[in-house]
Amino acid sequence: MSGEHASSTISAEVRHVESLLEARGLLEPGEIDTRIDEFLAGGSPANGARIVARAWTDPGFAERLLADANAAIREVGLSMAGGIQEQRLKVVANGVGADGTEEHHVVVCTLCSCYPIALLGPSPSWYKSEAYRSRVVRDPRGVLREFGLVLPDSVAISVWDASAESRYMVLPRRPDGTDGLSEEQLAGLVTRKGLIGTAAV
């Protein structure tokens, strides 16, 4: 069975269930599409960048973000709900770990392409590719090198596998020489690749 055929079969099944819910008055016509459109429209890497900049400038917020990301992002007016059930968000920080080892984190979804759309916008095509999803788990250092991120052997790399229930976002290291920058200026330095972990800031 081709991927295209499987996708069209699933789409037909979803539409059938949607029609039944509309017929029973549990959904307004087109309500699911409207909610999905609203959710996608609000999702942008700028949201994740705002969170990172706040964490870089507010140690208390950074601590809360790493302890309970879902609660912390509400402080800046963001949410992982988007009109549907809230997904669990875990933020992992690049830097020196508790044992003194330098750590770098990278995010993947080995089963599909789950990631925090509300904070990063729609996922890039390479994130969805089978090559990335399979190889970053087996050879993260090699994959990061292909993205132009060369890490010393002394840096420990952790790969975080997203799922339908849980999403991950990387808190990159704050670049040196940025002490005088405002929160808005700092947010401008953060890229989507930095939030996934395939680039440094």
Active site residues: 109, 112-114
Q: Which residue in this structure is represented by tokens 């972990």?
A: 197
User: Across the strands, what pairs with 161?
Assistant: 108
Tokens at 176, concatenated: 């040196």
Yes or no: say if 173 and 95 are a contact pair by the CB < 8 Å rule: yes
Beta partners for residue 160, in sequence order:
107
Radius of gyration of the chain (CA): 19
Q: Which of 142, 137, 200 is nearest to 174 (CA)?
A: 200
User: Side chain identity at 180, as an amino acid letter?
Assistant: G
Instruction: Output helix, strand, coil percentages for the chain, rounded to the nearest 5.
Output: 45, 15, 40
